[in-house]
Amino acid sequence: MPSERLLSVVIPCYRSQGYLEKTVSELVAALEPEEAFEIILVNDGSPDDVQEVIERLHAKDARIRFLELGSNRGQHAATLKGFAIARGDVVITLDDDGQNPPEAGLAVARALRGSRHDVVYGRFQTTEQNLPRRLVSRLNLWLFKHTMGNRTGIRVTNVRAIRGDLARMLGRSEQIFPYIDSMIFRSTRRVGEVTVPHRRRDAGESTYRLRDLFRLWLSHMSTLTVLPLQLATWGSFCASLFGLLLGVVQVVRALMLNQAPPGWLSLFCVLTFLFSLLFAFLGIISTYLGRMYVSLNARGQDWLRSSGGLGPSSDIGGGERASRGGASQAA
């Protein structure tokens, strides 16, 4: 059962044996005088010896819990596993490399508790990232803005504070390629942000190479939208229209000017029109399949924030129910 007031910190871990202990020790020192807390370390199938570090930290402090995944599932999937076992009324996410100082986590948690928001993001004062990561981040932000209706200017980051019941609902997701931020915006519109510090990595290099970052962006894009399929469909329609117009021009020239077009041009017009029309039909079918895929990704993300006047046998479905903000569940 979730605690009345407990801060859960979820940290996905991958190739971080050299600096995870320092990150966690710094976090414990900052949280201890401020909050009752638990730290959930999720080993995302890391090939190094980070599991030994995690188990050593757990042996020293029972407030440090852990999960070890059998394979590398990615940062978002690993974070959701941590959400599923979080017990706090507020759940925050931080990185394992120390770039997000404890002050950032405390800032988003305080902002969430002092507001009616369901989620609060940390907006970095300055971003200490290399150029490829900044470019992919901008692509993600642009895509997110135009597909999820995020017109508020909120910059989604990996420093988040989430209501505990919402986080646990997200943690029950069975998506193969999850994207936490799209899941959040599908579940609630009460999202805010607060400025937080960001610093350079203490050691090592980012585990994301340019290829990995592009693959991550492509995965997010295919999860969020069917826009690429729609663009391909419209491109096919335009190409078929071009082939049709070109054929009409050649027919007019033959009838009005008595200029017979060469055989290859006639064949080109016919093939362009027919193949473009075929691809357009395939694009339409793919759009329907894409919408089914997006719908499956969104399944189970209907979070009921609160309710009132319901009997004990009421069954309204739609995810986990939270009772707060003056709304009550009547017996």
Q: What is the DSSP letter of 91?
A: E
Which domain range does residue 284 map to? 227-298
Q: Are residues 24 and 171 in the same domain?
A: yes
pLDDT of residue 154: 82
For residues 319 and 301, the answer to whether their CB atoms sit within 8 Å is yes
3-state class (DSSP) for residue 125: coil
Structure tokens at 100: 């997000």
pLDDT in tens, 40-68: 999 999 999 999 999 999 999 999 999 99
pLDDT of residue 121: 96
For residues 157 and 141, the answer to whether their CB atoms sit within 8 Å is no
Please give the mean pLDDT across all residues of the chain: 80
Please say if the pLDDT value at position 88 is more than 90: yes
Q: Are residues 67 and 186 in the same domain?
A: yes
Average pLDDT of 105-116? 96
Range of weakest confidence among 14-23, 132-141, 162-171, 281-290: 132-141
Q: Do the domain assignments include residue 193?
A: yes
Per-residue CA distances from 196 to 40, 41, 95, 120, 122 (Å): 22, 22, 14, 11, 5
Q: Round to whole Å and give the CA distance between 201 and 98.
A: 6
Number of separate domains in the chain? 2
pLDDT of residue 328: 37
3-state class (DSSP) for residue 223: helix
pLDDT of residue 283: 73
For residues 57 and 129, the answer to whether their CB atoms sit within 8 Å is no
For residues 96 and 181, the answer to whether their CB atoms sit within 8 Å is no
Q: Are residues 71 and 21 in the same domain?
A: yes
For residues 3 and 36, the answer to whether their CB atoms sit within 8 Å is yes
Q: Domain of 12: which CATH number?
A: 3.90.550.10
Q: Do the domain assignments include residue 140?
A: yes
Q: Round to whole Å and give the CA distance between 10 and 59.
A: 18
Q: What percent of the chain has pLDDT over 90?
A: 39
pLDDT of residue 229: 73
pLDDT tier at 240 (50, 70, 90 boundaries)?
Answer: confident
Q: Are residues 155 and 88 in the same domain?
A: yes
Please say if the pLDDT value at position 314 is more than 80: no
Q: Which amino acid is at 268?
A: F
Q: Do the domain assignments include residue 330?
A: no
Q: Do the domain assignments include residue 194?
A: yes
pLDDT in tens, 181-233: 888 988 898 999 999 987 776 555 555 566 666 666 666 666 666 777 777 77
Q: Round to whole Å and give the CA distance between 37 and 5.
A: 9
Please say if the pLDDT value at position 323 is more than 70: no
Q: Are residues 32 and 109 in the same domain?
A: yes
Strands ordered across the beta sheet of 7-13: 64-68, 37-43, 7-13, 90-93, 160-163, 119-124, 191-196
Q: Where is pLDDT greater, at 112 or 151?
A: 112
Q: Are residues 231 and 105 in the same domain?
A: no
The pair phi, psi for residue 166, each rounded to 5°, is -70, -45
pLDDT in tens, 146-160: 666 555 678 888 999
Q: Round to whole Å and give the CA distance between 96 and 202.
A: 11
Q: Do the domain assignments include residue 329?
A: no
Q: Are residues 174 and 68 in the same domain?
A: yes
Residues contacting 83, CB < 8 A, separation 6+: 10, 91, 162, 167, 168, 170, 171
- Distant-in-sequence contacts of 212-216, Cβ < 8 A, 24+ apart: 213/132, 213/133, 213/136, 214/136, 216/74, 216/136
Please say if the pLDDT value at position 273 is more than 60: yes
Q: Where is pLDDT greater, at 237 or 58?
A: 58
Average pLDDT of 255-277? 74
Looking at 49-153, which runs of residues are DSSP E strands? Answer: 64-68, 90-93, 119-124
pLDDT of residue 288: 76
pLDDT of residue 327: 39
Please say if the pLDDT value at position 324 is more than 50: no
Average pLDDT of 278-295? 74
